[in-house]
Chains A and B, each alone.
Chain A
Amino acid sequence: MIKRLAGCIREYKRPTLLTLIFIIGEVIIEVFIPFIAADLVNQIKNGAGMDTVMLQGGLLILMAVCSLACGAIAGYTCAKASAGFAKNLRGDLFRKIQTYSFENIDKFSSASLVTRLTTDVGNAQMSYMMVIRTAIRAPLMFLFAIVMAYVMGGALATTFVVVVPVLICGLLLVAKHAMPAFRRVFKKYDRLNEAIEENVRGMRVVKGFSREDYEKEKFGAASEDIMKDFTRAERIVALNTPIMQFCLYFNMIFVLIVGSRLAITSGGASLDVGQISAMLTYGMQILMSLMMLSMIYVILTMSAESFKRICQVLDEQSALRNPESPIFDIADGSVDFEGVSFKYSQKAKKNALSDIDLHIKSGMTVGIIGGTGSSKSTLVQLIPRLYDTTEGVVKVGGVDVRKYDIESLRSAVSMVLQKNLLFSGTIAQNLRWGNADATDEELVEACKLAQAHDFVSSFPDGYETKIEQGGTNVSGGQKQRLCIARALLKKPKILILDDSTSAVDTRTDALIREGFKQYIPTTTKIIIAQRISSVQDADMIIVMENGAISAVGTHDELLASSDIYREVYEQQIKGSDGKEEA
C-alpha cells in the first residue's frame, strides 16, 4: 500500500528531499543553540569583556538566522511536496476512474468516489506533510539531544534512562486505547453524515409525512451516541499532556536535586550551573521529540483508513480492455446478438439476459417494450460494449464488438442513457460533447431534429444559455431532447434511445421519430419505450420479459401473436377505441 502511494510522489521527490536536508540543518542548529546560549550566560556571569559577549551573541544570532532560513525553506518545500503529492494522487485517482467500465462504476457509489478524491486525499496530504516534517526531525532531535545531554551532563543524563521509557510506555498506552475508539467514532461519523444527507435530499418526504420530530429524535440519539464515543476517545488522548508534563517535571526535579549536590560538592568542577540549565533544555527537547513521534503514529493510524480507500480505487482493474490490434472502422449499423447471456457479476445467480438471438439490419428502426426489470437497458448496453457478454457474441457491422477499438465503437454507437445528465456549462458546450468540432449550423440542425431548437432559441441567451449542475434549469422533457441532440451530433451509425422521451409529450415524441425517418434513414435506431405509441411504427418491435425475448414482430403481428403486447396496448388506449381509426 505504501509503495503504491509513494509512487505518486514522482516529480515531487526533489522538494521532499530538500525538505529532509533543510530539516536536518535546522535540527542541528537548533540543538546547538542552547549550548551556545548557555555558554553566553556563563560568559556574562564570569564577567567576560564586552567583545566576547558581542561575539558570542553575534554567533547566536547568526545561528538563529540560519535556522530560520532552513526552517522557512523546509516549510515551503514541504508544503510544495505534500500539495504536489496530493495533486498527483488526485490526478491518478481521476484518471483511473476514467478507465473504469460500467461494471467498475457500479461497484463504487459516486459519493464515495468524491470523498476519496477530496477528504481522503486531503488526509493523505496532511499525513505526508507530517511525515516528512517530523519523521526525520523527531528521531534526529532525540538522538542529538541525548548525545548532548551526556556530553554536557554526564552522569546526570541517566535520568533519561528512567524518564524516556516511562514516557514511551505512557504514550503507547494512550495510542493503543485511543485508536480503536477513534476508528469506531469515524465509522459512526460517516453514518451520521449519510443520515444528514438523506434528510437534506429527502426533505419533502420528511415534511410530507410530518416526520420532523421522528428524524430529530433519531438524529439526536445518533449524535449523542457519537458524542459518548468521541468524548471517551478524546479524553484518553487528553492524557498525553499530563503524562508529558509528569516526565518533564520529574526530569527537572531530579536534575536540580542531584545536579545541585554534584555541583556544590565538586565546587563546580564536574558540573556547573550552565550545564544544569543545558540539561533542563535538552530534557525538554528529548521529551518533545518523543511526543512528536507519538503524534505521527496517531495521525498515520488515523489516516490508514483513507489510504486504504484510495488504494481500493487505484487497484481496481477495469473490466474492459481494448483489443491488441483493434479495428477502427465500423462497416454499417447492423447489430447481431448470437446466443448472448449476461449477468452483472460473477456471483449473481440469475442471468440478467439469457439466450438472446437477434438480428437487426442497418437502417432499421427497432422498438423495445417490456416491464420494469425485464433487462431492456441491459440488452442495449451490450451494443456499445458498456458491458461484456457473459456468453455469446454481440456483433456490430458484422464484427464482434470486442474486436473494435472501444472509442471508435462508441462514437459509432450513440446512446442516450435512461439516467441522462447535462453538465454545467452552456447548452452549446453540452451539445459539443457529441462532437467537439461541430459548427453552429450542425448544432442547430441536431437540435431541430431532436425538437429542441424551438425552446433553445426561446431562451434569452439561446445556445449560450448556462446549464446549472445536474441541468436543474431545464425541464425533464427539455433535458431529454437536448440529450438526444447531443447524441445525434456524433453522427452515429447506431442510435440508441433508452426510454429517452418519457418526459416528452406524445406529439413531440412523434415529431422526433418522424424526423429520424426523414433525415437519418441509414442510421439504425433502437428505441426503448414505455409508450406503445413510441414504437408502434417501428420496423421491428421486441417484447422483453424477465431477461429474455418474448416476441418479435411488427405492431400488427404482435397484436395478433403476443399477449403481453396486446395487454399493454389495450391498457394504453383503453376507452379510446374507435379513435384510432379516426
Chain B
Amino acid sequence: MAKNAKKGGRPPMDFGVLKRVLKLLFSYYPVLAPLTVFCILFSAVTSAIPSLFLQQVINAIEKYQLTKDWATASGEVIPKVVLLACFYVLSMISITVYTQLMAYMTQGFLCKMRRSMFDTMQSLPISYFDRNKHGDIMSYYTNDIDTLRQLVSQAFPSLIQATAILTTVFFIMLYNSIWMTLVLLCGVVAMVFVVKKVGGGSAKYFIRQQQAMGRAEGFAQEMMNGQKVIKSFCHEKEATADFDKINEALCEDSTRAHAYANCMGPIIGNIGNILYAVMATVGGLFLISGAYNLSLRGIFTGQAVFTLGIVVPFLNMTKQFTGNVNTLSQQMNSIVMGIAGARRIFDLMDQAPEDDEGYVTLVNAEVDAKGNITETDKRTGKWAWKHPHGDGSLTYTLLRGDVRLTEVDFAYVEGKTVLHDVSVYAEPGQKVAFVGATGAGKTTITNLINRFYDIADGKIRYDGINVNKIKKADLRRSLGIVLQETNLFTGTVMDNIRYGRLDATDEECIAAARLAGADDFITRLPGGYDTELANNGANLSQGQRQLIAIARAAVADPPVMILDEATSSIDTRTEAIVQRGMDKLMEGRTVFVIAHRLSTVRNSDVIMVLDHGRIIERGNHEKLIEERGTYYKLYTGAFELE
C-alpha cells in the first residue's frame, strides 16, 4: 500500500475523503444515520454475547450428563436457552431494522449525490467540458457512483460491525485469559500482514484493471465510431490485432486482480483454522500443565487456574475473532475503490461554477403611446432590460439588439491570444457575418457575446449595457444560437423543437418548423412530429438535424440570433428556403452569421473577414468585392482556376 501511495501521488487510504462521505451521509440523514449506527452496534453486541450463554448451556449439559437428571437440569438449562433466544430475537430485530434503513439511506444518499453532481455540472463553465473528455465525466455517474454504493451500503456497515464485534470479543477474551489472548494476537498479526500483502496486491491490480478497462473502452469507442471507415479501408485485421493486444493486457491485469481477491478468503479463513488448532493445543497444554492463568477475571476474583470453562469458550471466540478479521479484509477492495471513486466525484463537485455577477434581467415589455416601458408577464414580442440601481430604483431599457464589441482581446489559454483588438458594431436589425478560415476566431467571438467565455480585455456592450452586468441566463435567453454540431435530445421531434421555448404550443412549434423548412421532411417521418429521436437523432441525416435545430431556435423567437455554420450540411436549395424564413422571422432584429459558404453570407449588412484573430476587412458584399481584398479572392476563388 505504501508503494502504491508513492506512485499514485495520493494515498489509497485517504481518510479525508472517507470523513467527507460520512459527514455528507450524516448531514443528509441526521436522525437515521446515527440510528443505523446504533442498530449495527446493537446487533453486533447482541450476536456476540450469546456465545457466553451458549457455553454455559454446554457446561450445564456436561455437568448433568453424569447424573442423567433432566428434571433438575432443565431448571438450569431452559432459562439460559430462553435468555439466549431473547438475545437472538433482539439481534434479529436490530439487523432487520438496520438492513432496511441501510437500503433506504444508500439509495437516498446516491440520489442526492447524483443530483448534486448534476446540479454542479450544469453550473460549470463551458471550458470545463472543453477540457474534460465526455467519457470521463460519464464515468463519474456510472463507475464512481457504483463504488460509492459499495462503500456506503456494504463496507461501512461491515466495518462498524466487525470492529464492534472484534472489540467486544477482545475484552471478553482478556477477561478470560490474557495469556491465550496474547497467543491469539500473534496469529492476528500474521493475518493482518497477509491482508496487507494480498489486499495491497489486489488493490494495485484492481486499479490497473480499471485503467486497462479504460483503454479498452476508449479504443472500442473509437473503432465503433469509425467502423464504416474501417470497412471502407479494409482495415479490419489491423483493428482486430490492436484490440487483441489491449484485450490481452486487460485479461492479464484482470486475472491478477481477481486472483489476489479470490485468494484472500481461503487464506484468511484457513489461517483462522490454523489459529484454532494452535489455540486448542496451547489451551490443552495450559490445562495439562496447570499453569497460572493471568486474566482480568483473575485479577478481580483471584481465580487463577485454567479450566475447561475457560479454554473451550476461548476456542469459540477464536473463531469469531478470525471470522471478523476475514470480513474486514474482504471489504478492503471496496474501501480502496470507494475512496478513489468518491475522490473523483468530489473533484467534480468542487469545481468552481461559472461566475455570474449579473443583475440586469430580461423581461417582456409593453410600450405605450408615450414610449413608456412597463413590465408584463405576457409575451408581447418586445423585451426590455430591467436594470436595478444602487438606490433601489429600477430603469427599463428596451431591447433593441445593439451589440458592440470594443477592442476585445481574448485567449482560451493564457499567453495564446486568439482574438486581437476586435471591434464589432452590430446595429439593431443588421445581419452581421463572420468569414474566415477555421481557427480564425469566428466562433470565439460568438462565444464571448453569450459569455460562454469571459473576455480578457476590452468591452462588450449589449444595448449599451456591459454584458458582465446582465444575468447570464437572461443574456443567453436573448440570444438564439444554432451551432454547427447539432445536439438533439431523446424525445419526440416536437419535444426537441419545444426545447427552444417550453411553453410553446404544438401550433407554434409546427409554425417554427415551417419557417425553418423542416416541416416538409418531418411530416414524411414515420411518426411525423411524434417520431421518437434517440441517440442524438441518429436516424436523421446531418442536414435534417440542422433543420430541427433551426426550428428549435426559431420557436424561441429570440431578439438576437447567432447562426454558427447552422446550414453547413443543408443543400443550397433548402438553405435558400431556410434563409427566406429566417429573414422574415428576424426582420428588424440582429443576426450574426458564421459560414464557410459565401452564398450564405452574401446578403449580410456587414461582413467581417477574420484572419488569425484579427478583423482584416469589413463592409457589405459589394464594398468588399470592390476592395479586391481577401474577400474578393475568396469569393472569386472558384472562378479563378477556370
The answer to whether B572 touches A510, judged by C-beta atoms less than 8 angstroms apart, is no
Known contacts: A87-B248, A372-B543, A475-B439. The answer to whether A421 contacts B572 by CB under 8 A is: no
Extra A-B contacts (4), CB below 8 Å, given A33-B273, A507-B640: A79-B258, A238-B103, A486-B233, A533-B639
A560 within 8 A of B: no
Interface size bracket, A side: 35 or more
Q: List 6 A-B contacts (CB under 8 A).
A: A49-B288, A61-B273, A238-B100, A256-B84, A268-B65, A505-B437
Q: Which of B84, B123, B232, B499 contacts A384 (CB 8 A)?
A: B232
A71 within 8 A of B: yes
The answer to whether B220 touches A94, judged by C-beta atoms less than 8 angstroms apart, is yes
Interface size bracket, B side: 35 or more
Query: Please, what's the 1-or-0 string for B212-228, where 1 marks a CB less than 8 Å from any CB in chain A?
Result: 01001110111111111
Known contacts: A68-B266, A76-B263. The answer to whether A206 contacts B122 by CB under 8 A is: yes
Assembly CA distance A209 to B479 (angstroms)? 8
The answer to whether B129 touches A219, judged by C-beta atoms less than 8 angstroms apart, is no
Q: Which of A78, A87, A434, A506 is the most central at the interface, judged by chain B CB atoms within 10 Å of its CB?
A: A506
**What is the chain A residue whose CB lies nearest that of B270?**
A68
Q: Which of B108, B569, B639 is the most central at the interface, judged by chain A CB atoms within 10 Å of its CB?
A: B639
The answer to whether B57 touches A260, judged by C-beta atoms less than 8 angstroms apart, is yes
- Per the 8 Å Cβ criterion, residues 102-132 of A in contact with B are 102, 105, 109-111, 113-114, 117-118, 122, 125, 129
Known contacts: A33-B273, A53-B281, A57-B281. The answer to whether A510 contacts B103 by CB under 8 A is: no
Q: Tell me how far the C-beta of A285 lies from the nearest C-beta in chain B, rounded to whole angstroms.
A: 13
The answer to whether A79 touches B255, judged by C-beta atoms less than 8 angstroms apart, is yes
The answer to whether A234 touches B233, judged by C-beta atoms less than 8 angstroms apart, is no
The total of interchain contacts (Cβ-Cβ below 8 angstroms) comes to 472
Q: Tell me how far the C-beta of B103 lies from the nearest C-beta in chain A, rounded to whole angstroms.
A: 4
A83 within 8 A of B: yes
Known contacts: A196-B118, A421-B229, A506-B637. The answer to whether A87 contacts B247 by CB under 8 A is: yes
The answer to whether B638 touches A223, judged by C-beta atoms less than 8 angstroms apart, is no
Assembly CA distance A514 to B642 (angstroms)? 10
A326 within 8 A of B: no
Known contacts: A193-B142, A433-B233. The answer to whether A264 contacts B107 by CB under 8 A is: no
- Per the 8 Å Cβ criterion, residues 620-641 of B in contact with A are 621, 625, 633-641
The answer to whether A267 touches B66, judged by C-beta atoms less than 8 angstroms apart, is yes
Chain B residues whose C-beta falls within 8 Å of the C-beta of A197 in the assembled complex: 134, 138
Q: Which of A86, A211, A238, A417 contacts B99 (CB 8 A)?
A: A238
Q: Which of A61, A201, A246 contacts B92 (CB 8 A)?
A: A246
The answer to whether B476 touches A476, judged by C-beta atoms less than 8 angstroms apart, is no
Chain A residues whose C-beta falls within 8 Å of the C-beta of B224 in the assembled complex: 97, 110-111, 113-114, 117
A-B residue pairs, 6 tightest by C-beta = A71-B266, A75-B262, A202-B487, A533-B638, A475-B438, A79-B258
The answer to whether B110 touches A227, judged by C-beta atoms less than 8 angstroms apart, is yes
Q: Tell me how far the C-beta of B509 lies from the nearest C-beta in chain A, rounded to whole angstroms.
A: 14
Chain A residues whose C-beta falls within 8 Å of the C-beta of B256 in the assembled complex: 79
Q: Which of B142, B476, B542 contacts A210 (CB 8 A)?
A: B476
Chain A residues whose C-beta falls within 8 Å of the C-beta of B240 in the assembled complex: 91, 94-95, 98
B363 within 8 A of A: no
Q: Tell me how far the C-beta of A356 lies from the nearest C-beta in chain B, rounded to whole angstroms.
A: 19
A65 within 8 A of B: yes
Chain B binding surface, main DSSP class: helix
Assembly CA distance A231 to B479 (angstroms)? 43
Chain A residues whose C-beta falls within 8 Å of the C-beta of B277 in the assembled complex: 37, 40, 57-58, 60-61, 64
Q: Which of A74, A91, A195, A219 contacts B243 (CB 8 A)?
A: A91
A100 within 8 A of B: yes
Q: Which of B115, B284, B477 contacts A50 (CB 8 A)?
A: B284
Query: Please, what's the 1-or-0 string for A169-198, where 1 marks a CB less than 8 Å from any CB in chain B?
Result: 000000000000000000000010111111
The answer to whether A209 touches B499, judged by C-beta atoms less than 8 angstroms apart, is yes
Chain A residues whose C-beta falls within 8 Å of the C-beta of B276 in the assembled complex: 37, 60
A458 within 8 A of B: no
Chain B residues whose C-beta falls within 8 Å of the C-beta of A436 in the assembled complex: 238
A317 within 8 A of B: no
Q: Which of B95, B216, B226 contacts A118 (CB 8 A)?
A: B216
Chain B residues whose C-beta falls within 8 Å of the C-beta of A201 in the assembled complex: 134, 487, 536
The answer to whether A60 touches B280, judged by C-beta atoms less than 8 angstroms apart, is yes
The answer to whether A84 touches B251, judged by C-beta atoms less than 8 angstroms apart, is yes
Q: Which of A118, A227, A571 is the most central at the interface, judged by chain B CB atoms within 10 Å of its CB?
A: A227
A10 within 8 A of B: no
Q: Which of B437, B536, B597 contacts A531 (CB 8 A)?
A: B597
Interface segment, one of A269-277, A292-300, A438-446: A269-277
Q: Which of A193, A241, A273 contacts B141 (CB 8 A)?
A: A193
Assembly CA distance A478 to B245 (angstroms)? 31
Q: Which of A48, A200, A260 is the most central at the interface, judged by chain B CB atoms within 10 Å of its CB?
A: A260
Interface segment, one of B29-37, B71-79, B171-179, B367-375: B71-79
B336 within 8 A of A: no
Chain A residues whose C-beta falls within 8 Å of the C-beta of B635 in the assembled complex: 576
Q: Tell me how far the C-beta of A389 lies from the nearest C-beta in chain B, rounded to whole angstroms.
A: 17
Interface segment, one of A1-9, A334-342, A357-365, A407-415: A407-415
Chain A residues whose C-beta falls within 8 Å of the C-beta of B153 in the assembled complex: 234
The answer to whether B267 touches A71, judged by C-beta atoms less than 8 angstroms apart, is yes
Q: Tell me how far the C-beta of A574 lies from the nearest C-beta in chain B, rounded to whole angstroms.
A: 7
Assembly CA distance A389 to B98 (angstroms)? 65
A14 within 8 A of B: no
A143 within 8 A of B: no
B602 within 8 A of A: yes
Q: Which of A53, A109, A117 contacts B220 (CB 8 A)?
A: A117
A207 within 8 A of B: yes
Assembly CA distance A216 to B119 (angstroms)? 6
The answer to whether B487 touches A198, judged by C-beta atoms less than 8 angstroms apart, is yes
A41 within 8 A of B: yes
The answer to whether B217 touches A267, judged by C-beta atoms less than 8 angstroms apart, is no
Chain B residues whose C-beta falls within 8 Å of the C-beta of A382 in the assembled complex: none
The answer to whether B258 touches A83, judged by C-beta atoms less than 8 angstroms apart, is yes
Q: Which of B84, B287, B571 is the most central at the interface, judged by chain A CB atoms within 10 Å of its CB?
A: B571
The answer to whether B569 touches A82, judged by C-beta atoms less than 8 angstroms apart, is no
The answer to whether B58 touches A273, judged by C-beta atoms less than 8 angstroms apart, is yes
A155 within 8 A of B: no
Q: Which of A40, A219, A424 contacts B222 (CB 8 A)?
A: A424
The answer to whether B251 touches A235, judged by C-beta atoms less than 8 angstroms apart, is no
B500 within 8 A of A: yes
Known contacts: A433-B235, A505-B596. The answer to whether A41 contacts B142 by CB under 8 A is: no
A304 within 8 A of B: no
Known contacts: A195-B490, A373-B541. The answer to whether A78 contacts B104 by CB under 8 A is: no
B102 within 8 A of A: yes
Chain A residues whose C-beta falls within 8 Å of the C-beta of B359 in the assembled complex: none
B357 within 8 A of A: no
Assembly CA distance A475 to B596 (angstroms)? 13
Chain A residues whose C-beta falls within 8 Å of the C-beta of B129 in the assembled complex: 200, 203
Q: Which of A90, A109, A206, A207 contacts B216 (CB 8 A)?
A: A90
**What is the chain A residue whose CB lies nearest that of B128?**
A203
**What is the chain A residue whose CB lies nearest that of B216?**
A118
Assembly CA distance A257 to B278 (angstroms)? 31
Assembly CA distance A219 to B111 (angstroms)? 10
Q: Tell me how far the C-beta of A575 lies from the nearest C-beta in chain B, rounded to whole angstroms.
A: 6
Q: Which of A61, A82, A238, A478 contacts B102 (CB 8 A)?
A: A238
The answer to whether B126 touches A207, judged by C-beta atoms less than 8 angstroms apart, is yes
Known contacts: A231-B104, A266-B68, A568-B572. The answer to whether A65 contacts B221 by CB under 8 A is: no
Known contacts: A114-B217, A386-B232. The answer to whether A253 contacts B84 by CB under 8 A is: yes
Query: Please, what's the 1-or-0 string for A368-398, where 1 marks a CB less than 8 Å from any CB in chain B?
Result: 0011111000000000101000000000000
The answer to whether B126 touches A203, judged by C-beta atoms less than 8 angstroms apart, is yes
- Per the 8 Å Cβ criterion, residues 406-436 of A in contact with B are 406-407, 410-411, 414-415, 417-421, 423-424, 433-434, 436
The answer to whether A118 touches B213, judged by C-beta atoms less than 8 angstroms apart, is yes
B350 within 8 A of A: no
Q: Tell me how far the C-beta of A83 lies from the nearest C-beta in chain B, rounded to whole angstroms.
A: 4
B62 within 8 A of A: yes
**What is the chain A residue whose CB lies nearest that of B57?**
A256
Assembly CA distance A163 to B281 (angstroms)? 35
